Structure 1
Amino acid sequence: MMKKLFILITVMLFLPFANAAQFKEGVHYDVISEQATSKPQVAEYFSYFCPHCNKFEPIMTDVTKRLADSDIKVEKNHVAFIGREMGIEMQKAFATAELLNVEHQMSSAIFTAIHDQKRRFSSRDDIRTVFTDAGIDGKKFDAAVNSFAVNGKVARMDKNTANKNIRGVPALIVNGKYQINMGSIKARGEQFNIKLTALIKYLAAKTD
């Protein structure tokens, strides 16, 4: 019994080192900047129009919950380079949802409208309808989407996207320095989420 307990404790002690050993630069992640952020963070870049982002949304929701016990801040950035002029409008829709504290609800509704219901979006009014259908007051949407706060959020997301040279989504950048190669994670379902969380935590703790 004591021998089994000793083995279990030994495995638990060395597990973090085993996880660290399985992550390699150039395979699981790339260094894209010399300077890291002052605090640990993971920045997600996505677009409502992106089908891969639609599939990745529940994964990142689960990963965010798994990171809740850490000091790693999760930041979402909606890119504007997909969807032409509506890409900008969707970016404002995301910023508006954040400002109104309904981001999770509205992201789910917008993804569903685009990818499941196959609805076409050609104007801001089409986006407004999704908000009002979800129970958001239309006047609150109008005030928020045209606000200084939303314009500031959009400007910040555009700056982040340009600074990190984001060309495709979904993309994850940890500490502003490491870009994750999600195709390198050879797992499915919950195991994928667990390994992605482990990789994020590993990179967030790196000091070199």
Structure 2
Amino acid sequence: MLKGLFQTASALLLGAAFATAAHAADTFEAGTHYFAVEPPQPTSTGDKAEVVEVFSYACPACNMFQATMQKLKAALPANTELVYLPASFRPDEDWPVFQRAFYTAQALGVLDKTHDATFDLVWKDEGTLRISDAKTHKPVSPMPTIEDVAKAYAKFGVKADEFTATAGSFAINTKMKRADALLKAYGVDSTPTLVVNGKYRLTAVSAGGIDKIAPLVKFLIEKDAGAK
């Protein structure tokens, strides 16, 4: 009960942060709190504003950031869509495998079931896809494979052989290459990173803290709408 009340209060506070963002707009400066993406990249959300989260399931900071992302998603304006972009630039931490897992789950229509759950599979002590030892925190060897992901996803109604076959398909390989190209175009070199409307890049650090993310995202959405 208390947990539910806390979550509700947190969502209301984040919503309030969006509502009052305009009053703090003059505190956000290009080159300090956010960075222009040059050249701007096309969005995938049509007439809606787009907020992209660049992440990896194997990124510890991304795991910690999920509570913030869930609140942000709930508080985004109605004409805004959240898009996930999995990164692969840390093969030493198995990021390409988890990038492939993301796009495979998306292709099979189970991403809504697997997305949050995969963070738990990687980071909870009993998780079956851990990339580090729960006690020593040293990298495990070998790292999880796409076959391991397929077995772990069986509880979400996915057949292991279908998952691995899809994971190795031309369509998934193409999506991964496009994702890598888009990451470079965005200028992303760390995770988690947010990109607004393909034009503005920010992190919690650049924003000035977790509590500044919501008003900064709101400011950038309004800034772009005003420019149009």
Q: What range is the shorter-chain TM-score in?
A: 0.7 to 0.9
Counterpart selection for 1:57 from 59, 63, 66: 66
Counterpart selection for 1:74 from 82, 86, 90: 82
| Equivalent position of 1:7 in the other structure | none
Secondary structure of 1:42's partner? strand
Asked if residue 48 in structure 1 is aligned to residue 57 in structure 2, the reply is: yes
| Equivalent position of 1:206 in the other structure | 223
Asked if residue 25 in structure 1 is aligned to residue 30 in structure 2, the reply is: yes
| Equivalent position of 1:167 in the other structure | 189
Deviations for 1:126-172, whole angstroms, at most 9, x for unmatched residues?
11121114442223313421333322321221111121222111111
Q: Distance in 1 between matches of 2:71 and 2:112?
A: 12
Secondary structure of 2:25's partner? helix
* TM-score, normalization by structure 2: 0.71
Greater C-alpha Rg: 1
| Equivalent position of 1:140 in the other structure | 162
**For structure 1, which runs of at least 5 residues remain unmatched after alignment?**
1-13
User: How many residues end up aligned between the 2 structures?
Assistant: 189
Q: Distance in 2 between matches of 1:36 and 1:50?
A: 25
| Equivalent position of 2:3 in the other structure | none
Asked if residue 151 in structure 1 is aligned to residue 173 in structure 2, the reply is: yes
Cα distance change of structure 1 residues 28 and 202 upon mapping to structure 2, 3 Å threshold: same
Asked if residue 114 in structure 1 is aligned to residue 122 in structure 2, the reply is: yes
8 Å CA contact 2:58–2:93 kept in 1: the answer is no
Q: Distance in 2 between matches of 1:134 and 1:105?
A: 7
Q: CA RMSD in A?
A: 2.6
Shift of 1:48: 1.2
**For structure 2, which runs of at least 5 residues remain unmatched after alignment?**
1-18, 132-142
